[in-house]
Amino acid sequence: MFDFSGYRLRNRGFSEKPMTFLDAEPRTLLSAITEIALIETGSRSAREHWQQIQLRNLVKHVTQRSAFWRSRIGSRKASDIDLASLPILTRQDLRTQVASEGPLLRPADGFTTKAHSTSGSSGVPVQFFLSDFNGNYNGIRSLAQFFLDGLDLSLNRTQVRPAADPVTGGVSVVKAESWLGSLHPLFKSGKNKHIAYFRLQEVCNKVVLELKKDDVGYLVAMPSTIERISDSFDLSFLKAANTTIWIANSSSVTQSVRKVFADLAIPVRANYSSEEVGMIGAECSKFAGYYHVATSNVIVEVVDHKMEVDGMNLGKVLVTHLHSYATPFIRYDLDDLACLEAKCPCGHNGPTIYNLYGRVSSAIKHRDGRMSPVSIRLRTLKTLVDFTEYRIRQTAYDKIVIEFGGRSELKPQEIAAVSGYLQESAGPEFDIEIKASKEIDWGQSRKRLPFLCEI
């Protein structure tokens, strides 16, 4: 780990001051990355002891500052807390705490806080507070993964993500000479490119054109973004644009998309993260679908293994964010499903998530308790009906509603074709309701999810 011969150092990367190796800024960032690596790859017993101390600190903080949390924890001392004995924190619980108490950090604590929210992918966005430490950690942890995986820092990094608000022309592009932050004076790095889009299905061609202009290098994008692009374009253009690795963030990657990238000889490395807590796990470079937990940031539990998806018994993913002093996340239910092992098959001696399914709300629910993935493709729908946007909702165990935007009415043959396709994909037990709308009302959600289970 301490062999830097594989990294391209700048000739004048080291400090020119007497009795100094590195200047302050790169030294501080490199030290933080090393600390994360020590915790996540070092002694398991030392790591677990550190986590317990951090949990104790957090519990002490919340019991001092929050009536909401005192009611949940009771009169127990922080040193006596068994994590599994605490109640699960739901989104509604979170809303209650934030609305009644606001941030639990004060100006005298030496940290600034800011309001943040989820994208609303599971319904109404959830509001909460972050400290400046959280923001700094997230940036450092993201960069640390490149060192943990031994990746080439000299390649470009290209990020594609949805814009929170409308942008001129639907796409905005920001470029920078480096993506290494304050390590730029020390290491030679590729260029950084950030592509933000608004309503991808309307500007997909512009995004693809932008990706073709420069070497992509490390592609950072959500699976939903790549899947939507693949519905309209052959992804071989990514290989031609010298894409080295696709770093998929926020959610898991479907097997069909993984196969496309395998055929293109472009490795996939998914990150499991959330708006609320940041990095949760990073995909193993040797075993696809296994995520090494970011133990410097969270404690992960998987409980209640009663959910059956594609024949697998999965449990609810709970996260405890060890640095969540502004808005506490202790045993927070992410509404995700997965399995958890103490170690990874690759030999990594740390908790590892696998069979990660993602949001419960992204699966079709059946009356017998089973859940099944949604296998509906935009490309196929486009052959059946003309539209500008669409949304599918499961509103009951036996009902699915699909809405097509950009249409004032639908032809009988279009309704029949779509109904047949949905029943073939979801199951014959569903009553299919098909609607035409000039414009779909997406509510407060920033993510325009093609499917949402509302049960």
Per-residue pLDDT at 128: 97
Provide CB contacts within 8 A for 408, sequence distance 6+: 436, 438
Summary count for the chain: helices (H), strands (E): 11, 20
Per-residue pLDDT at 333: 95
- Residue 121 pLDDT > 60: no
How many whole angstroms separate alpha carbon 4 and alpha carbon 246? Answer: 24
Average pLDDT over residues 26-52: 97
Q: Do the beta carbons of residue 393 and residue 122 sit within 8 Å?
A: no
Q: Say what angle helices 223-230 and 255-263 make with each other, to 10 degrees.
A: 70
Per-residue pLDDT at 399: 93
Planar angle of CA 182, 186, 187, nearest 5 degrees:
100
How many whole angstroms separate alpha carbon 357 and alpha carbon 339? Answer: 9
Per residue in 375-400, pLDDT (tens digit) is 777 778 888 999 988 999 999 999 99
Complete DSSP assignment for 305-323: EEEEETTEEEEEEEEEETT
Residue 347, phi-psi category: left (phi > 0), alpha (psi -120 to 50), beta (remainder): left
Per residue in 226-273, pLDDT (tens digit) is 988 998 899 999 999 999 999 998 777 888 899 999 999 999 999 999
pLDDT band at 79 (very low <50, low <70, confident <90, very high): confident
- Residue 29 pLDDT > 70: yes
Provide CB contacts within 8 A for 98, sequence distance 6+: 127, 128, 129, 327
Residue 435, classified by CB atoms within 10 Å of its CB into exposed (0-12), middle (13-18) or buried (19+), is middle
Q: Do the beta carbons of residue 124 and residue 117 sit within 8 Å?
A: no
- Residue 169 pLDDT > 60: yes
Amino acid type, 117: S
How many whole angstroms separate alpha carbon 131 and alpha carbon 138? Answer: 11
Phi (first) and psi of residue 282, to 5 degrees = -120, 135
- Residue 311 pLDDT > 70: yes
Residue bearing tokens 């309701």 = 433
Per-residue pLDDT at 24: 96
pLDDT band at 372 (very low <50, low <70, confident <90, very high): confident
- Residue 440 pLDDT > 80: yes
Three-class SS state of 278: strand
Domain ranges of the chain: 370-453
Per residue in 196-229, pLDDT (tens digit) is 999 888 899 999 999 999 999 999 999 989 988 9
Per residue in 131-140, pLDDT (tens digit) is 999 999 999 9
Average pLDDT over residues 429-436: 92
How many whole angstroms separate alpha carbon 348 and alpha carbon 355? Answer: 17
CA atoms within 13 A on the CB side of 355: 18
Three-class SS state of 173: strand
Three-class SS state of 356: strand
Provide CB contacts within 8 A for 149, sequence distance 6+: 269, 282, 285
Per residue in 337-371, pLDDT (tens digit) is 999 999 999 999 999 999 998 776 677 888 877 77
How many whole angstroms separate alpha carbon 123 and alpha carbon 134? Answer: 24
How many whole angstroms separate alpha carbon 428 and alpha carbon 426? Answer: 7
Average pLDDT over residues 61-87: 91
CA atoms within 13 A on the CB side of 237: 16
Amino acid type, 180: L
Complete DSSP assignment for 216-260: -EEEEE-HHHHHHHHTTS-THHHHHTTEEEEEE-SS---HHHHHH
Three-class SS state of 118: coil
How many whole angstroms separate alpha carbon 101 and alpha carbon 99? Answer: 6
Most confident of 156-160, 301-305, 420-424, 445-449: 156-160
Q: Do the beta carbons of residue 153 and residue 180 sit within 8 Å?
A: yes
Per residue in 321-333, pLDDT (tens digit) is 999 999 999 999 9
Average pLDDT over residues 20-33: 96
How many whole angstroms separate alpha carbon 303 and alpha carbon 286? Answer: 26
End-to-end CA separation in angstroms for the chain: 48
How many whole angstroms separate alpha carbon 353 and alpha carbon 415? Answer: 41
> With the C-alpha atoms ordered 392, 339, 353, 45, is the resulting torsion angle positive or negative?
positive
* Nearest in space to 403 (alpha carbons), one of 379, 435, 380, 381: 435
Q: Do the beta carbons of residue 215 and residue 241 sit within 8 Å?
A: yes
Amino acid type, 383: T
How many whole angstroms separate alpha carbon 159 and alpha carbon 145? Answer: 16
